[in-house]
Each structure stands twice: as structure tokens, then as C-alpha cells.
Amino acid sequence: MPTTEQRATNITWHEGEATRDERHRNLGQKGATLWMTGLSGSGKSTVAVALEQVLLQRGKHAYRLDGDNVRHGLNKNLGFSAEDRTENIRRIGEVSKLFADAGILAITSFISPYRADRDLVRKLHADAGLPFIEVFVDAPLDVAEGRDPKGLYKKARAGQLKGFTGIDDPYEAPEKPELHLKTHELTVEQSVAVLIELLESRSLLSA
Amino acid sequence: MPTTEQRATNITWHEGEATRDERHRNLGQKGATLWMTGLSGSGKSTVAVALEQVLLQRGKHAYRLDGDNVRHGLNKNLGFSAEDRTENIRRIGEVSKLFADAGILAITSFISPYRADRDLVRKLHADAGLPFIEVFVDAPLDVAEGRDPKGLYKKARAGQLKGFTGIDDPYEAPEKPELHLKTHELTVEQSVAVLIELLESRSLLSA
């Protein structure tokens, strides 16, 4: 076994921190946040899951933030009051910003119905010089409700869920999203193709 | 310009989500959290910065979480009450867990003086099946205070900072850290060499 001194001869470092550019070059891509917003059942998760698969196939690096890994973890001490919903989105925005800074494509899929909350996350990224791509994942309410993958619309219509977006709480559609994805007019493959083209057109998939 | 249909022919995806293993293979390493704990001035940040540089040189992927990118972002709504300090470490633990899940080596450098807080983060990782490596970055108080890189000990001694770890608030040293790094006995290069060897011995730097 080599001694500590011998091992240490392979180690060189210099003053100053590794830069964002160095991290991104090392990953062969630029970090960014792809923020999917839309009604429950609009297709956010389906598109996010498919996009991650296709990026991985191409050797690119993405990570999805969604209810599964955030609501039961980082944000498990938040409820559904107006204040807590805003804090929920703020924290997700801050975490996606850290992933983007690290060089990973953060793909978030949360309803995130309020414009002010999304605009705050956009500003967080702008202030940090990191790309924020808002994707309006859009399907008409009757289509989304017809899909109802989690049975939530049914519960909301039955009055078992209060403050449900699209039923008794508003969805504030993005006014100027980077992309408007009408999932009822596209296959999943087509949605992913459009997203990949958007990422490529912004040179985010190369360092 | 190709039509959406033509572009879509290159897109294939399948049911089910990309797995953690797929993400980690894609990055050529396994995700983990390297949790540096120790007094202010013990060398946590210096070692973390140097380790990140050396990992990048080797084409590996790390991201540092520290006061600079967490206290002014995700945790900017937290103060220094006992409750807020615990929540500070909990959130950092949750975020490092997400990075580890993504396949990145999360390197955290926070004093994190309380054993219970660190043990909670250890449990979060264990429950998620992700490696948690606690590194006790150790220098005697007089050495750490002599370094005083941010002038904080001086302020604490003058009574301008209350509840400062090591002065008027306890530091609860880890009982069974994965590594005990005595920075007053090692060069930075040696500390990094020991950490790299630890990561390699746990097969974390290969997929």
C-alpha cells in the first residue's frame, strides 16, 4: 500500500474554486432548468420521464424533480396554504438552480399554477446567470380531467379535495413561456422531439 | 428544417422511469454525499474546494453545497434559532440526497455541530439506499481560532457573535465518522488523497 506521501504526489490543486464553466465542460453540456407547468393530467410527468430517457440515451445528464422526490423529502414540512404553496415552489426553484449550476438539466414537473411563483423562480435563475425554460404543458381541462391518472379530478368533483387547480382553484397560464406544448395534439415522441430541438437550439446539450 | 414527424423518428422511449443505476452508469460513477463537519476554520471548505478540483481533473462529477450557495438561497428564510439550525441541516441533507440520487458527489461543508442533526441526514440517505460519508474535519480549537479565515472567532470572543460553535455553543464531535481528518497534521494534498482513496475503496468513482 502506498504511503500517504506517495499517494499525495498525484494531487495538484490551485487557489480558487472550480468554476461553473469547468463543471459544465466536464459534463459536456450546460446546466439549465426546464420548468414544466400545467394542469394535473396535462402530461408534465409523462413528457418529463420520456425526455429524461432520451437524454440519457444520448449520454446527457438530467434529473427530474417531482412530487415523489420533493413532497416527501425537502418539502414534507409544507402544507397547502397559499404561503406554503409559494414556499414549495420557491424551494424547488432554488434546488433546480443548484442542479443547473452543477451542470445538470433539472426537469421539474409541478402544476405550479401561480404566475408570481414561477416568475420568482425565473428571476432566481436570471440573477444567477442560469437558463430557465418555462414549458407550458397544455391540454384542455376536459382532456386532462378525462385522463385523471391519479383520480384527483374525481375526488375534487366529489368535494373530497379542496382548492384543486382547474376545479376550484385557478391555473394562471404562462403569458410568454419559452415553449407551449399542446400535448393533446402531439405524441409523446413529438413532444420530446420539440424539447430536444429547443435545448439544442440554445446550445445547452454541448459544453 | 425537418418536420416534427421526421424528427420524432429518432425518439424512442418506454414505459417506466429511468433508474438511478442508469443515471449513475451514464455519469461513470455512483452518487454519494460526503458530509464535512467541523469547527469554523477546521479546513472544511479548503479541503472541499481542493477535492472538487481534483475530481474534475479526473473527469468525475461533484458539486459543493456550502454557506455561499445555500444560506443566501434555499435557506435564506432561516435564522439561527435551534429550530432553524435543525431545519437548515435537514434541508441541506435532503438536497444532498437528491444530488446523490442524480449521480453527483455532493460535498457539503457546514459546521453542522449537532450529532442529532447529522444522524437525521445519515438516516435520510440510508432509507434511500444512498451512501453517506461523514468526514470529521478536525483541528484543535486553538488552531482553528488561529486561522480564523472569516474573523468570526474574533467577533465571538468580543461578544459580537452569540452562540458561536466552539466558543459559547458546543461542537458535538462525530462518534463514528467514516473518516477522521486531522487537518493540522496533513497538507491539503494529503487530505484530498485520503478522501479520494476512501471514495475509490467504496467503488464510488466508477459506475
Asked whether residue B24 carries a pLDDT value surpassing 60, the answer given is yes
Residue of B nearest to A20 (CA): B63
Interval A43-74: pLDDT, tens: 999 999 999 999 999 999 999 999 989 999 99
What is residue A1's predicted lDDT score, i.e. its pLDDT? Answer: 42
Query: Quick one: average pLDDT of B127-151?
Result: 96
Burial of A104 (0-12, 13-18, 19+ CB in 10 A): buried
What is residue A3's predicted lDDT score, i.e. its pLDDT? Answer: 47
Measured CA distances, A41 to A58, A92, A161, A197, B24 (Å): 28, 20, 16, 24, 30
What is residue B1's predicted lDDT score, i.e. its pLDDT? Answer: 42
**Percent helix, strand and coil across chain A, each rounded to 5?**
45, 15, 40
For residue A69, give every residue at least 6 positions away whose Cβ sits within 8 Å of its Cβ, in sequence order, or none. Answer: B98, B101
Tell me which amino acid residue B162 is. Answer: K
What is residue A8's predicted lDDT score, i.e. its pLDDT? Answer: 53
pTM of the entire structure? Answer: 0.95
Query: Quick one: average pLDDT of B135-152?
Result: 96
User: How far apart are alpha carbons B65 and B63 in whole angstroms?
Assistant: 7
Return the residue in A3, A121, A189, A205 with the most chain B beta carbons within 10 A, the one to mutate for interface testing: A189
In this prediction, residue B2 has a pLDDT band, given cuts at 50, 70 and 90, of very low
User: How far apart are alpha carbons A111 and A42 in whole angstroms?
Assistant: 9
Q: Which residues of chain A have pLDDT under 70?
A: 1-9
B contacts of A99 (beta carbons < 8 Å)? 98-99, 102
DSSP B23-78: HHHHHTS--EEEEEE--TTSSHHHHHHHHHHHHHHTT--EEEEEHHHIIIIITTT-
**Percent helix, strand and coil across chain B, each rounded to 5?**
45, 15, 40
ipTM confidence: 0.94
Asked whether residue B5 carries a pLDDT value surpassing 70, the answer given is no
* All cell numbers assigned to A193: 422531439
What is residue B11's predicted lDDT score, i.e. its pLDDT? Answer: 87
Give me chain B's average pLDDT, please: 94
Q: Which residue among A91, A186, A194 sits closest to B74, beta carbon to beta carbon? A: A91
Distance from CA of A123 to the nearest CA of B (A): 12
DSSP 8-state class, residue A165: B
Cell 454541448 belongs to A206
Query: Quick one: average pLDDT of B104-114?
Result: 97
* All cell numbers assigned to B54: 481534483
DSSP 8-state class, residue A16: S
Measured CA distances, A88 to A34, A66, A94, A157, B124 (Å): 17, 11, 10, 25, 20
Distance from CA of B161 to the nearest CA of A (A): 28
Asked whether residue B104 carries a pLDDT value surpassing 90, the answer given is yes
For chain B, what's the residue count? 207
> B56–A7: do the CB atoms touch at under 8 Å?
no
Asked whether residue B6 carries a pLDDT value surpassing 70, the answer given is no
Query: Quick one: average pLDDT of B137-165?
Result: 95
User: How far apart are alpha carbons B70 and A147 in whole angstroms?
Assistant: 39
Catalytically annotated residue among A40, A112, A203, A206: A112
What is residue B10's predicted lDDT score, i.e. its pLDDT? Answer: 77
For residue B55, give every residue at least 6 positions away whose Cβ sits within 8 Å of its Cβ, in sequence order, or none. Answer: B61, B62, B105, B196, B205
